[in-house]
Structure 1
Amino acid sequence: MTFLGPTTALCRRPAHRFLLGLSAGCLVAAAVTASAAAVSTATLLEQMTDLAGLAEFPSPAYTCKQFSSYDQASKSPAQEWFANNDCGQYLRVEDRAGRKEHVMMDAAGPGAIVRIWSANPAGTVRIYLDGAEQPVIEAAMSDLLGGKFPGLPRPIAGEYSKGWNLYFPIPYAKSCKVTSDKGGFYYHVNYRTYPAGTEVESFNAGQIKSLAARIEQLGARLASPRGKASEFGGLTEEYTVDVPAGETVRQEFEGPKAFVRSVARLEAKDREAALRGLIVKVTFDGEGCVEAPLGDFFGSAPGVNAYAALPLGMTKEGDLYCHWFMPFKESAVIELINHTKDLVRLSGEIVLKDHAWTERTMHFHAKWRAEFDVPTRPMQDWNYLTAKGQGVFAGVSFAIDNPVKDWWGEGDEKIYVDGETFPSHFGTGTEDYYGYAWCWPAVFTHAYHAQPRCDGPANYGRTSVNRFHVVDCIPFTKNFKFDMELWHWNATCKVNMAAVAYWYARPGATDGFKPIRAEETVLRPMPVYVVPRVAGAIEGETMKILRVTGVAEPQDWANASAGRHLWWHAGMKPDDTLVVSFDAPKAGKYRVFGRFLKARDYGIHQLAINGQKFGEPADFYNPEVRPSSERDLGVFELKAGVNEFSATVVGANEKAIKSYMFGLDYLLLKPAE
């Protein structure tokens, strides 16, 4: 394919044609389902990789909602809206067969589970369908979500950056209940509900064996989501185009057709700046549907950050691919707008097919918003998407510039569909929505979600995450709103945020996005991270653990001396003790100072040195994570060399989550006069 370059210089930004016309006679027609089939495990498995199906409003129709362990103290924006006790919340606890079962989900059918996530799966999970007394699935939750359940291997299920995800669909005709015989964990259960009378074939355990070939094929597709060009059919056209600084190039297409695949390779003097500064705009049938920086549109920003998902991805060599299915009835216009100071060259290929437009067909949408120097307090709901019309939400990619090591993503997703006054998706943490957990900085990739970039140390720097809703897409008939809480551990810093929302909508739909301004596309430099250190401090994370009940280990904490502290965080109860050692340079009397961590799930502890208690037990509860002031612990007779520091659990503040945690930042020794 030959590109036409700029032909004239105008005072206004000129637009130039960059693709030649395509021959419709070479294209392959896409099939359109004439009528809805019964819902079954088999049909849902097909939908897990059917990106073309996202472009047709569902038939039979359904809603998609979420059960979760969100803090139920959150009642409204005026009542505990940012409450954060998101662990161990259940619908109820039932007595069954002599055991306690914590009910995570209880829904009337017809419907289908389409995703289960947990940060810390516990106990035996049981899934009861259609009022049966015996579960259709009974397994260790960590096996079912971790890819170890027979017949449901990775990547259909698996642990990714500490998040456990199951994407195997479980349909039910009448009802579904999900329980665990252990409590104390985080969870999401995403599920569909179909209209009464919809024909649904309930899942049974034998289907894992009878559908083994399909499940194996599905697993292979999810494991290699980029696929091959030959799999897409249609007509492939190659292109190369130069976009001068400050200019626009343009190409028109005639319908009815659909874009089914594209690959882009970018060359520029500053590639990272160009991926943010080159804007892709797409107009379908006269409606502006896509407007985003090129790199953000392809699911990770800024720069090239390798990952492979089903609809989008990037290779380490810099190939950007898109598999979103984009139909149009009469026309499509693609524009590339260069907001950078240098020429940008784009090359690659586009694949089109003929596609029959129906009364259910929807346009693809992808739009970007960014906000800079956003203070982390007061907390707020940051909007990903507000849309009106009929459509289907299909995902989001998100990028944040974080100037500190502290965790930026404690906030929950809140999704409102068709005028809901309370969200039908209320999450448990930003990373939980994106399918990982525990603020984990390790990059990962999966067909449906990824963390392609996290600079570090810890959560400092630029981070990019995404999640794509395919079998768990969220239909709406009138309107849709997706907010994500900005809930940062650091109450005094400012962050930069950018997001691309992906959705489908019938013609005439509207959204709340504003046109992208050139100044918004300029990358802000990250401040250099300086590790804070207290002179002479004996760092808690470097002390040798002599005795402990439960788990104690170093944890990154931006406000700590040296950026870490010793975190005692699991398996303890009142009267349990943590004992660590520290060295004194010589025998004698020392005044000892210490600094500790305070948070909502920290306990009351009796502190001691060499068995000598100092003062009354200390209460380390605080609604937010923060350091204590440096405490004067008193004067102690220390031995030359090894001495012992201990913390014993006494209890917890009445307002605290009863986890009894403890954090030691440092001790500081000063010779006593």
Structure 2
Amino acid sequence: MHSLLRRCSLATFLLASVTSIGHAQGLADLAQPMEGRSMRATSAHRTGPDGKFDPNGEFDPNSNWDNKNLEPGKTRVLMEADGPGVVTHLWMTFLGPQKHTWAKDGSANHQEMLLRIFYDGSDRPAVEAPVGDFFANCFGKRAEVISVPVVVEDADSYNCFWHMPFRKSIRIEVVNESKKPVSLLYYNIDWIKKDTIAEDVPYFYAQYKQEYPVKQGSDYVILDTKGKGHFVGTVLAVRSRSPSWFGEGDEKVYIDGEEKPSIWGTGTEDYFLSAWGLKTTSTPYFGTPYFDQWGIVGGHTAAYRWHVQDPWVFNKSIKVTMEHFGWMSPDENPDYKSTSWNERQDDYSSVAFWYQTGTPTFDARAPHAKERVLPSIERKVIHPTAMLDSLDHGHGLVRQQDINNYPEGHVFFKPESEGEGWIEIPFTVEKKEPLRLLVNATRAEDYGKYKATLDGVAIGGTMDFYNNEIDDWEYHLLDFWPEPGEHVLRMECVGRNHKSSGNYIGIESVRLRERRPRVIEMGHDKDKDWKEKPTLYN
């Protein structure tokens, strides 16, 4: 309860800070006369003369059924209107992907929902991005964002305040590219109907793209377009495929056709206005809504940067790029050294936000949701729940629990004493190749500290499974080239955190995660006996 109050207080404080910081110029604008008429497109329930739902009917004061479900493969038009006009605010909400009383089998996640906005009858969307990524919520994960143009309060109310002018017409739609429905979709879109829109007023654009993994020998391109306008924001999502820090790469921006970039940054975290790495945060103009674990193989980072006060202005063209350089583990380095300046092979996706007159020339398009899902990097996933009756363990209670929305649940072990706190998980290796061994486990307020051995050899450090809230965490243990055959991972209790009330353990899975192909090509550790010097690169 106390942690919930702290989160609510922080969110309230941040919202108040954004309001108080405000747009000084925006507040001044409110004291000026305004032209036009306010309008709204909404999911509020309407009925026709026959009393049945009619999107063009009258608002129904006797109904609270203001949400709409969107079945797989279907498109919901949220707004379709004639211009001139300016959209000033878009709000939507819907159920998360978890099973719910109103969605027994779960729902689509926001990465599987595609937001598209069309201006003036064009068949090419000016805005095309997964709903989540457009609101700086990447990887299909829900996260709170408290910023000036985008606010996702409590990780479930999606707001944007980008102004979107249109002249002839506008159509805003959401496409459900999931195999599950979008459940309980609510929306309100506020706009102002205008008499005219000046010829030099630019349109608002947002375009998603991805590279899984990034292309070797060329910087990652966030935006490349010809015309006149100004760049106003970036959302970037990175799934690391190598150990260590990915973000040493600089932003490089080419203005008006220049061959060498005149805007050149000092590092990825510096572009996102942080320093010495990234951590979870949300501020009016920059933030990192999602950051799971530092320096691991398979870590996720999502950050946003809004150029509201400092737009990049271009008259002929702009090309916004990001280097994908960072630290590298010795077994991925030709010289078997750990250095900070190596071209990495991580998975990148992004959304570029900009204003431009005319038609952009950026040819990126959002692939289908099934292609937006990050490819699996697991060589083998061992679920101990599948072998519950045959697991070797000390005396105590062992059972399967459905917790944390694990698809297979986890094995919960409550030993009778610290000395009985051990459990063994066997697995088979099919071929000799470089792999990373890790355990995905539950953390809770009554869980203990454990150490691991593999085939009797101590690996990794002490794993503390205590946390004041229930969550899951990856514990990375070993980089090795295991011999084909049978292996046994043993987890043994070595005590408890002084805050913990127990020495329990909950294991969702043991995972063998693939390493990049260049680890095989270089083969630095191929002929080494991992048992002599167990190594975890970080």
Normalised TM-score (structure 1): 0.44
Distance 1:385 1:317, change over 3 A: closer
Check conservation: 1:533, 1:561, Cα contact below 8 A.
Answer: no
**1:365 partner amino acid:** Y
User: Counterparts in 2 of 1:76-91, with a 5 A limit?
Assistant: none
Q: Supply the distance in 2 between the matched residues of 1:387 and 1:398 (Cα, whole angstroms).
A: 18
Residue by residue, what CA displacement relative to the aligned partner does 1:572-627 show, whole Å, maximum 9, x if unpaired? Answer: xxxxxxxxxxxxxxxxxxxxxxxxxxxxxxxxxxxxxxxxxxxxxxxxxxxxxxx9
The residue that corresponds to 2:130 in the other structure is 293
Check conservation: 1:223, 1:446, Cα contact below 8 A.
Answer: no
Check conservation: 1:243, 1:343, Cα contact below 8 A.
Answer: yes
Q: Supply the distance in 2 between the matched residues of 1:559 and 1:453 (Cα, whole angstroms).
A: 23
Q: Supply the distance in 2 between the matched residues of 1:348 and 1:443 (Cα, whole angstroms).
A: 28
Structure 1 residue 385, shift from structure 2 partner: 0.5
User: Counterparts in 2 of 1:50-199, with a 5 A limit?
Assistant: none
Given the alignment of the two structures, is residue 368 of structure 1 paired with residue 203 of structure 2, yes or no?
A: no
Structure 1 residue 235, shift from structure 2 partner: 3.4
Q: Supply the distance in 1 between the matched residues of 2:457 and 2:367 (Cα, whole angstroms).
A: 50
The residue that corresponds to 1:304 in the other structure is 142
Q: Which moved more, 1:466-475 or 1:530-539?
A: 530-539
Check conservation: 2:108, 2:179, Cα contact below 8 A.
Answer: no
The residue that corresponds to 1:426 in the other structure is 264
The residue that corresponds to 2:285 in the other structure is 448
Q: Supply the distance in 2 between the matched residues of 1:217 and 1:402 (Cα, whole angstroms).
A: 33
The residue that corresponds to 1:574 in the other structure is none
Distance 1:523 1:338, change over 3 A: farther
Check conservation: 1:380, 1:487, Cα contact below 8 A.
Answer: no
The residue that corresponds to 1:234 in the other structure is 38
Distance 1:524 1:223, change over 3 A: farther
The residue that corresponds to 1:284 in the other structure is 119
Residue by residue, what CA displacement relative to the aligned partner does 1:383-431 show, whole Å, maximum 9, x if unpaired? Answer: 0010111111001101111244411111110000101111111111111
Q: Supply the distance in 2 between the matched residues of 1:560 and 1:342 (Cα, whole angstroms).
A: 37
Residue by residue, what CA displacement relative to the aligned partner does 1:300-327 show, whole Å, maximum 9, x if unpaired? Answer: 2122111211111212251111010001
The residue that corresponds to 2:198 in the other structure is 358
Check conservation: 1:291, 1:516, Cα contact below 8 A.
Answer: no
Distance 1:477 1:286, change over 3 A: farther
Residue by residue, what CA displacement relative to the aligned partner does 1:304-361 show, whole Å, maximum 9, x if unpaired? Answer: 1112111112122511110100010110011211110011132121111134411221
For residue 212 of structure 2, give the secondary structure of its aligned residue in structure 1.
strand
Distance 1:309 1:219, change over 3 A: closer
Structure 1: runs of 5+ lacking an equivalent: 1-159, 161-215, 542-556, 563-626, 632-664, 667-673
Distance 1:560 1:343, change over 3 A: closer
Given the alignment of the two structures, is residue 475 of structure 1 paired with residue 313 of structure 2, yes or no?
A: yes
Distance 1:466 1:515, change over 3 A: closer
The residue that corresponds to 1:178 in the other structure is none
| Structure 2 residue corresponding to 1:256, chosen from 69, 84, 88 | 84
Q: Supply the distance in 2 between the matched residues of 1:281 and 1:415 (Cα, whole angstroms).
A: 26
Q: Supply the distance in 2 between the matched residues of 1:430 and 1:277 (Cα, whole angstroms).
A: 27
The residue that corresponds to 2:73 in the other structure is 246
Given the alignment of the two structures, is residue 274 of structure 1 paired with residue 109 of structure 2, yes or no?
A: yes
The residue that corresponds to 1:521 in the other structure is 372
Check conservation: 2:143, 2:155, Cα contact below 8 A.
Answer: no
Q: Supply the distance in 2 between the matched residues of 1:424 and 1:390 (Cα, whole angstroms).
A: 17
Identity percentage over the alignment?
Answer: 28
Distance 1:272 1:498, change over 3 A: farther
Q: Supply the distance in 1 between the matched residues of 2:155 and 2:249 (Cα, whole angstroms).
A: 34
Structure 1 residue 447, shift from structure 2 partner: 0.5
Residue by residue, what CA displacement relative to the aligned partner does 1:144-174 show, whole Å, maximum 9, x if unpaired? Answer: xxxxxxxxxxxxxxxx9xxxxxxxxxxxxxx
**1:300 partner amino acid:** N
Q: Supply the distance in 2 between the matched residues of 1:219 and 1:412 (Cα, whole angstroms).
A: 32
For residue 260 of structure 2, give the secondary structure of its aligned residue in structure 1.
coil
Structure 1 residue 494, shift from structure 2 partner: 4.4
**1:347 partner amino acid:** Y
The residue that corresponds to 2:359 in the other structure is 508
Distance 1:354 1:481, change over 3 A: same
User: Counterparts in 2 of 1:336-347, with a 5 A limit?
Assistant: 336-345=174-183, 346-347=185-186
Distance 1:284 1:560, change over 3 A: same
The CA RMSD over aligned residues, in Å, is 4.0
Q: Supply the distance in 1 between the matched residues of 2:231 and 2:368 (Cα, whole angstroms).
A: 25
For residue 220 of structure 1, give the secondary structure of its aligned residue in structure 2.
helix
Distance 1:424 1:290, change over 3 A: same
Distance 1:292 1:530, change over 3 A: same
Check conservation: 1:272, 1:304, Cα contact below 8 A.
Answer: no
For residue 327 of structure 1, give the secondary structure of its aligned residue in structure 2.
strand
Residue by residue, what CA displacement relative to the aligned partner does 1:93-130 show, whole Å, maximum 9, x if unpaired? Answer: xxxxxxxxxxxxxxxxxxxxxxxxxxxxxxxxxxxxxx
For residue 346 of structure 2, give the secondary structure of its aligned residue in structure 1.
strand
Check conservation: 1:404, 1:461, Cα contact below 8 A.
Answer: no
Q: Supply the distance in 1 between the matched residues of 2:302 and 2:89 (Cα, whole angstroms).
A: 23
Distance 1:537 1:343, change over 3 A: closer
Check conservation: 2:129, 2:366, Cα contact below 8 A.
Answer: no
The residue that corresponds to 1:497 in the other structure is 348
Check conservation: 2:207, 2:366, Cα contact below 8 A.
Answer: no
Structure with max Cα Rg: 1
| Structure 1 residue corresponding to 2:20, chosen from 214, 220, 227 | 220
**2:235 partner amino acid:** S
Check conservation: 2:223, 2:320, Cα contact below 8 A.
Answer: yes
Q: Supply the distance in 2 between the matched residues of 1:533 and 1:234 (Cα, whole angstroms).
A: 66
Q: What number of residue pairs does the alignment pair up?
A: 334
Q: Supply the distance in 2 between the matched residues of 1:409 and 1:444 (Cα, whole angstroms).
A: 17
**1:450 partner amino acid:** G
Structure 1 residue 222, shift from structure 2 partner: 4.7
Structure 1 residue 558, shift from structure 2 partner: 8.5
Q: Supply the distance in 1 between the matched residues of 2:525 and 2:294 (Cα, whole angstroms).
A: 23
Check conservation: 1:461, 1:526, Cα contact below 8 A.
Answer: no
Check conservation: 2:230, 2:355, Cα contact below 8 A.
Answer: yes
Q: Supply the distance in 1 between the matched residues of 2:40 and 2:173 (Cα, whole angstroms).
A: 19
Structure 1 residue 436, shift from structure 2 partner: 0.9
Check conservation: 1:395, 1:467, Cα contact below 8 A.
Answer: yes
**1:266 partner amino acid:** F
User: Counterparts in 2 of 1:194-205, with a 5 A limit?
Assistant: none
For residue 511 of structure 1, give the secondary structure of its aligned residue in structure 2.
coil
Check conservation: 1:300, 1:399, Cα contact below 8 A.
Answer: no
Structure 1 residue 490, shift from structure 2 partner: 3.1
Structure 1 residue 276, shift from structure 2 partner: 0.8
Q: Supply the distance in 2 between the matched residues of 1:268 and 1:479 (Cα, whole angstroms).
A: 39
For residue 406 of structure 1, give the secondary structure of its aligned residue in structure 2.
coil
Q: Supply the distance in 1 between the matched residues of 2:457 and 2:96 (Cα, whole angstroms).
A: 48
Residue by residue, what CA displacement relative to the aligned partner does 1:413-472 show, whole Å, maximum 9, x if unpaired? Answer: 0000101111111111111101112223x2111100000111114455221001000121
Check conservation: 1:278, 1:339, Cα contact below 8 A.
Answer: yes
Check conservation: 2:324, 2:345, Cα contact below 8 A.
Answer: no
For residue 276 of structure 1, give the secondary structure of its aligned residue in structure 2.
coil
